[in-house]
Chain A
Amino acid sequence: MSFEIISMSSALMEKQAVTEIEKCNDFTAQYGLTLSHQDVIELIETRNFALKSNGRIEFGGGVINKIIREFCDSPYLTMDNYAETIHDLTEIFYFYKNETLDLISDDELIEFMKNRFDGRCQGSLELLSGRELENMARNLRYGYAPNYSVDPERDKEDENEQY
């Protein structure tokens, strides 16, 4: 009769989360991106797995929605890689919530991920996770701003590339 917070929460919240994510299809359809009911269930499973493996617990179902709404206008997302990318982004998101010691809010982290994914990483999840977020997390842990860089020249080049 012990209180198992994780098992209690996941059972309760899942149904609500599925409905919420399915609702996002109305918004993402304009970009030619939609998720099937099966995709949504798998996304929830990924989220639960990511939460468990990172030792976290979530009470609302908002993060996947936020990721979808932020990333749906990315030029690097197509219907072919949409579901898979959202899976990876969800895992990356929870991993870096821990790595940043919760010093950054959900919205800020998702916004940072989107900027770098569309910018420097040009749609590469490996670069996003292994380089950009890694640097950002290190900066935060050492008390710098998330965008701090020891090589400002490179930053300028990157900014130019975006135009």
Chain B
Amino acid sequence: MANSAGICTSFKVELMTGHHALGTTVTRGGTGADALKMALYLTTATVTPATTVFSATNEVSSANYTSGGASVTNGTAPSSSGTTAFWTPSASVSWTTVTFTTDCAFLYNDTQGDRAIAVFTFSSQTVTAGTFTLTMPTNDSSNALIRIA
């Protein structure tokens, strides 16, 4: 078997589990698993992949919606298939009896200074005294919420 170059698949998984600290110092705080959150934003917000931390600016507002969003159930460890590492929350994120219009969900790390993870957009949706449920994709190497290929 010949040698071959590439980022190790185990490293991709371990980026998500906090095993590696590249650079000159360890910047991570805490040693436990992080609490993740999902927040929703108005269509007038400007949340993009350039966003670095959670902000309440232009976040949706409603009874039964708390600023900062809802906790994300993180019951499934990151894994890999082939050369792709992947991870998906283990449950949908839901709000009941809320009223707002949104087109953006922002996933962030509530434990590590509200640091940004990913932004998800969709066409503008109005919820009226109703349930808003963000349903997660299949947790595999082709569809997972976060994939490092």
Q: Do A and B bind each other?
A: no
Chain B residues proximal to chain A, CB less than 8 Å: none
